[in-house]
Amino acid sequence: MSNLDIGFIGLGIMGKPMAGHLLDAGHRVTTSTHHKAAPAELLKAGLGSVGTPREVASSNEVIILMVPDTPQVEEVLFGPDGVGESRLDGKVVIDMSSIAPMATKTFAERVRALGGDYVDAPVSGGEVGAKNAALSIMVGAAEATFERIKPILEIMGKNIIRIGEVGDGQTCKVANQIAVALTIQAVAESLTFASKAGADVAKVREALLGGLATSRILEIHGERMIKRTFEPGFRIELHQKDLNLALSGARELGVALPNTAIAQEMFNACRAAGGQGWDHSGLVRAIEMLSNHEIGQK
């Protein structure tokens, strides 16, 4: 596809490498410094910088958001000097954040009323997936809009699926976060059990990776648990935000999510120990505290 003018707001752990891939692909990318300065390495790579989301929207065909939560998306879109204060005729807003599905539908209606189009495209794969352009991207969009923006998404991810209409991408992401949290808890319990029983936990993990219990969580986060590397690829406080969306949605739908509630309580225990900024694999520390045993102890 021809090079596009793309705005990218939210250059954190995930957004920074994602924007970098767009620059490497030859697109012109601009960010906003309304909250913090643009990363120096991206500026050296050609990233443009303006002061407000409104300025980002005014000079770009596509505006991508990658911010922490629903209030931040609303602020960027509709706050003072927000995207919505610019003319949006023919432009596409792609929200790659993980936020509430119902709020997403409301935001889409407001953007359409301003002449633009709206896509929700939350991602899974964490910092590793973002750096390797290997994210799974769950898209809610009209089919024609999806085909229009798919080449952009393919620069940042490998598994790109249109789930359905606007809001369905966020619903899929909530489901993803339920599965991820419960799998992290399962890996944490299994490795803590093996370690306290006296087995070589690294070899236990290696064996499990060759059987039915294998998973990306066991591969990546199991290694983190063993090596005690809890610097965040995805922070506990952000995963808690996603599980709050799951549990509140479950109440509205009348769906039972008992193990999701337990995983949230394990994250709460981590927060109580000052771990809201740990990587979500740090959930193992709550299991270890309950077990009075740290993985790797003799």
Q: Are 191 and 287 in contact (CB under 8 A)?
A: no
- Cα–Cα dist 38/215, whole Å: 35
Please state, in angstroms and rounded to a whole number, the distance separating the CA atoms of residues 97 and 67. Answer: 5
Contact between 10 and 97 under an 8 Å Cβ cutoff? The reply is yes
CA atoms of 161 and 152, how far apart (whole Å): 13
Q: Strand 117-120 vs strand 28-32: parallel, antiparallel, or unpaired?
A: unpaired
Separation CA 68–CA 10 (nearest Å): 8
| Contact of 241 with 283, CB cutoff 8 Å | no
101-113 and 70-78 are packed helices; what angle lies between their axes, rounded to 10 degrees?
A: 10
Residue of 64, 73, 53 lying closest to 5 (CA atoms): 64
Task: Considering the candidates 16, 91, 131, 173, report the single residue annotated as catalytic.
Answer: 173
173 in active site = yes
Catalytic residues: 173
